[in-house]
Amino acid sequence: MTSKVTTKSRGDEGEARALVYLLDQGLVLVERNYRVARGPSARGAEVDLIMRDRDGTLVFVEVRQREGQDHGGAAASVNRSKQRKCILGAQFYLMNLREWPPCRFDVVAIDGGTLQWIAAAFDAS
């Protein structure tokens, strides 16, 4: 029996690698794969990882993985549309909190074997 490598399995592997890296940097996992439904069968938004930094900042993390630098690589693939979905997910998550902590949006870009953590990669404006 062979196991087929899918886009989903590669994405899960990238998220797991990013999570281990961020934990090693002192962040704490709050939530993984936080999803907001747009309708019965459509996702409106997803935040790959929600972490808490040492200073209490809530960090919404988008993880992108690419095999190479084609088309600008993983970081460049976090376009405005992807940012809006992450921001929407963050807004829904924050609505459930009594008080809003400081927040930021980070990107973990994985190109081949190289992982790059981009803190404050974009903002909600």
Distance CA 116, CA 4 (A): 27
65 part of a folded domain = yes
| pLDDT 10s digits, 3-13 | 676 666 676 78
Predicted confidence at residue 19, as pLDDT, reads 98
Distance CA 60, CA 107 (A): 8
2 part of a folded domain = no
1 part of a folded domain = no
Tell me, what DSSP letter sits at residue 3? P
Geometric angle at alpha carbon 13, from 82 and 69, rounded to 5°: 60
Distance CA 118, CA 75 (A): 9
Q: What is the CATH number of the domain that holds 52?
A: 3.40.1350.10
Amino acid at 102: P
Domain count across the chain: 1
Beta bridge partners of 70: none
| pLDDT 10s digits, 67-93 | 766 667 899 999 999 999 999 999 999
11 part of a folded domain = yes
User: Domain of 26?
Assistant: 7-122
